[in-house]
Amino acid sequence: MLFLRSALFNLCVFIVTFTLSPLLLLFRLFGLPAAWFWAKLWSKSVLFLARYLCGIKLCIEGQEHLPKESCVVMAKHQSAFETIIMPILIPPYVWILKRELFYIPIFGWALWVLKTIGIRRGNPRQAIQQVNKDGSALLQEGKWIVIFPEGTRSNIGQSGDYKPGGIVLAQKAGVGILPMAHNAATCWPKRGFIKKPGTITIRFLPYISADTVASSSRKELLETLKSDIEKHTQQLGG
């Protein structure tokens, strides 16, 4: 039964994605807010399907920590769920992801027109320079930036190698950092076809102000962020 429900869910997500992505591309001509309407609708549609086809519920904690100004979100990365749901969690933002995703027909194009920063992983130095330049400009425009410091998805109970890129960007742009923990892999495993019923909890941790980020050692701040994100992820069962 889980296999059949997961298969139907994946089919419906495919249909929704390749139905709404062209609309996002079309409405981008009328500005980013118009395009973001379709991005949010896509997220809500996938969440609806996850709820009623797979029995996956969403719980959001710590919304009081969201700042009024733009910031860098540094989030745990366990599955595709946290990337799909992000448009309905925070204000309009920009992802930092591998450039190869832009080559996916329609869906990748939609990512591109939303000003997503696509980096080449094969050239770390150039990638850092691009993130700092483009990311700082977008933050000054009021866009949020979402970074997964591990760089790739990790399994339940595991921690990846946290990179300091998000901290470097926040310091250069003069903004704060919003850490995010969750347990998405308990229902939506890394590369897992089968989606399991349950509750996925997204937990925003206390906001780190721009002043604190600016005055902190990058190494110490990265260790603190990693410790806090991993601790809360484990508390949630992720």
At residue 107, the pLDDT reads 80
What SS3 class is residue 16? helix
The predicted model scores a pTM of: 0.92
Torsion of CA 57, 143, 63, 128, to 10 degrees: 80
The pLDDT value recorded for residue 109 is 81
- Closest C-alpha to 85, from 114, 56, 65: 56
Write down the pLDDT at residue 45: 97
pLDDT mean for each 10 residues of the chain (238 residues): 93 94 92 93 97 97 97 95 94 85 81 82 76 89 93 88 93 97 94 92 98 96 97 95
CB 207 within 8 A of CB 71: yes
Residue 107 to residue 125: CA distance in whole angstroms: 28
pLDDT at position 56 is 97
Please give the domain boundaries of the chain with CATH numbers for all domains. Answer: 56-235 (3.40.1130.10)
**Residue 3 identity:** F
Pairwise CA distance, residues 91 & 118, whole Å: 20
* SS3 of residue 180 by DSSP: strand
15 phi, psi to nearest 5 deg: -65, -45
